[in-house]
Chain A
């Protein structure tokens, strides 16, 4: 048994070491794989704020993942076709600049999370799971029938977007951007969990009545957590779209929501690095089992069942023991 903090450090160092090794050995595919893991981890870290800290089981986070993806897709699509996004009431041009795209992705998914959160938080328990699922499906079907942006076929972006001062076409550079963002968000997540807001949120999940008694509004705490969560997952969506240079309705699908949730549970619910471990293990399984057998989903399913039965705290819980999350 090692301490969770040591484990977190180890995971991040490993996650950095593998692509560096791949760079020196000229294996760009490994770097892409690692980037994919990092982006999935980011999406799951986002969901973990709602799920782990706030106890909000959202099966609709693909909505924010997809909104981020489409924010990138739409802006870059207009930039590459030299058409404005819209002209009325004021002119908005497309862009290939990553920071601008991220900002747009975060703001739009934040607004969406606010609206979805306000409506969904009226319900609780299994109804909450289902209503978030329904909102996710709404976006899914909307994107399918949105012919202006590719409908079912999605949008193809020819060249990866630009980041000031870096050539993003070099795989390791793009990995570095994603990895830096992941570390920053993890830092933010750690601080948030220990902040007065995080403590109040934790309490709101465990004993909403008591929180109400001391004069805090549990619903408002949960709403704020839901919005933060949506913003982070939206950012991950924009990065994911940039990694593939492709956006399609699949990013909105409920299987995507399920996968993001799987990362968390596989790694360890409410653990700081649980989502990271989960995403990395998932991407590795996808790669190696996928290479072994066409039917690798069977093994994945069996493994998930084992985790549910024998490793309730996820992989992090299995290794670092059942200490209380976030110290």
Chain B
């Protein structure tokens, strides 16, 4: 196994990790600020992807498609927040799980109703496709590099937003003490809607960006949603830094495990058995990682200690 393969796989892991971060960031903000488990976050991801595919099909512009994805997801997010989620803040986790599960059903079937059961395709534009040569002679798809950069830029922007701006201060204050910031004159319900819209837009963006390398179909959001939950639980719920580190850990474990565990097993097993047990272990690896982190630190790597 060559260095080139290893570097390629590390880049793939980074790329999937950074896309997971876009999902996880919204989820962790929403949970941190409002104490809400939003299972329907995967549906916002799906809405983003579908909006992007539809707009790209109509206009042919990838940039417009991305904007449409963020706008559609944010609008859906705001609607959902105002109509449904707002009534759930005071209830326990059980009701939230049920209500947002109900939202998944509605969104998935609604999308199937509008777009049909067949997957749509979102093409990578010409100026972003094709391989580039990295130092050391490694050929790597340009689009995936762009994804990594976009993700890192968003992460940096989000970091600045949280630590440097007035909204960020309010969000952090909201995580610590809701009643207090309401008493200080911040319109808490507007803040909640804003955070929800922000999280939704990030999910929509992730859906559109990933939709261009995979197919756009109903149910695409749920696997990512579960991974994003794993990420925020590893990182500690409510922590953006935790979400970033958790996302990279999960992305790298998932990608590298899938490639290298079967290879590793081949060193001491016969090839076919090694292939199957290696890939079995690889698909379980991130959940084992999460279990291990939670047993070591029950509130995640950067979560608030009780």
Interfacial residues, chain A to chain B (CB-CB below 8 A): 51, 57, 59, 119, 122-127, 129-131, 133-135, 137-138, 141-142, 144-147, 254-255, 258, 261-262, 265, 269, 295-298, 300-305, 307-309, 312
Contact = CB atoms under 8 A, between A and B. Distances in A.
Contact of A304 (B102, B226, B280, B288): B102
B295 A130 contact: no
Q: Which 10 A-B pairs have the closest CB atoms?
A: A301-B105, A304-B102, A141-B283, A301-B106, A145-B280, A297-B109, A301-B102, A297-B105, A138-B287, A130-B233
Nearest to B103: A301
A138 B276 CA distance: 15
14 contacts: A51-B94, A123-B298, A137-B287, A141-B280, A141-B283, A141-B287, A145-B280, A146-B276, A254-B222, A261-B98, A265-B94, A295-B112, A300-B105, A302-B106
Contact of B233 (A127, A137, A144): A127
Contacts, number: 125
Given A122-B294, A134-B291, A304 B99 contact: yes
B97 A59 contact: yes
Interface centre among A300, A304, A307, A308 (most CB of B within 10 A): A308
Given A298-B109, A301-B109, A138 B294 contact: no
Interface centre among B101, B112, B298 (most CB of A within 10 A): B101
B179 interface: no
B94 A142 contact: no
B-side interface size class:
35 or more
A4 B194 CA distance: 44
Contacts of B237: 126-127
Interface in B269-305: 276, 279-280, 283-284, 287-288, 290-291, 294-295, 298-300
A126 B276 contact: no
Contacts of B37: 126, 129
A142 B283 contact: yes
A295 B113 contact: yes
B31 interface: yes
B84 interface: yes
Given A138-B288, A301-B109, A129 B93 contact: yes
A131 B99 contact: no
A134 B280 contact: no
B296 to A, nearest CB: 10
Nearest to B104: A301
Given A57-B93, A261-B98, A305-B102, A142 B280 contact: yes
A57 B91 CA distance: 14
Contact of B87 (A138, A144, A255, A309): A309
